[in-house]
Amino acid sequence: MLAVISLIVMLNVGAGLGELLPLIENVVCPADSANVSACIIEAVETIKEPLITGDYGDGVKGIVLDPYVINKLEVNRGPSFKASLKNVLITGVRNFQIEKLRTDLRKKKFSVAVTFPDLVVRGQYKLEMNLVLLKLTGNGPFNLTDDPLLKVNLEFYTDKKNVVFTRPVHVDIEFAHPQLYLGNLFNGDPKLEAIGNQAINDNPNILLNELKPELERHFEGSFYQIASTITKGATADELFPGY
């Protein structure tokens, strides 16, 4: 995601900088360079800090990415699955690694695959779930560690004045080696809690796949907001010179 945001930044070759954020002005990556994707990946490091902290300069603030906060997330699929997460904090985002980056300047389309080698998610959960023969219920603290892969597609369009706007962002999460811990499962009976957590971690994707669409929607909203904030008021010539 960071790569996608910053590549917008990189592709600016310095024309008509008046409207652009200092964040963008500071990084230049010629669109006619031999390998635009490689250039962008390299340059992401230089603007990583403002992207992570959400402090883009000139008093422009955006969403903080580490820790990334989800105040509330709810999934209700009826009696077989109900979950709500609250006060969720995701840390370790800053250690992201860009695995792959694809750019289509003419279509103003970008896709990036990013891994997060040591992500830790902590928060409060409430759960009712049928898992094989178990009926899991619980309400308490949880944590999740993983090194997931995020695939992000970002696309822009322009209006009559050639001003750039962000299209809805598409995010796909692939969990890799998720480890979950749900505290106070079955009201804290220690034996049942251990059995329940064992059952969940035997195949964590059963639970995580139920949460995934809502998580993806949350990230999509945040990335859309970040991309819109960073590109606000810029024209296509400024952001994608030579497109």
Ligand X SMILES: *[C@@H]1O[C@H](CO)[C@@H](O)[C@H](O)[C@H]1NC(C)=O
Burial grade of 5 (CB within 10 A; 0-12, 13-18, 19 or more): buried
Burial class of residue 39, CB neighbours in 10 A (0-12, 13-18, 19+): buried
Residue from 90, 114, 108, 99 nearest 1 by CA: 114
The footprint of ligand X (CB under 6 A) covers: 35, 37-38, 41, 120, 143, 145, 181, 183
Assign 3-state DSSP to the chain and report helix, strand, coil percentages, each to 5. 35, 35, 30
Place of tokens 């299209």: 167
Residue type, 10: M
Q: What is the DSSP letter of 78?
A: S
Closest separation in Å from C-beta 133 to ligand X? 25
Please state the closest distance from residue 157 (CB atom) to ligand X, in A: 26
Task: Quote the least distance from Cβ 37 to ligand X, whole Å.
Answer: 5
Q: Considering the complex, what minimum distance in angstroms separates the CB of residue 77 from ligand X?
A: 26
Which residue lies nearest ligand X, judged by its C-beta? 38
List C-alpha distances in Å: 186 to 75, 78, 122, 191: 20, 19, 19, 9
Nearest distance from C-beta of residue 208 to ligand X, angstroms: 16
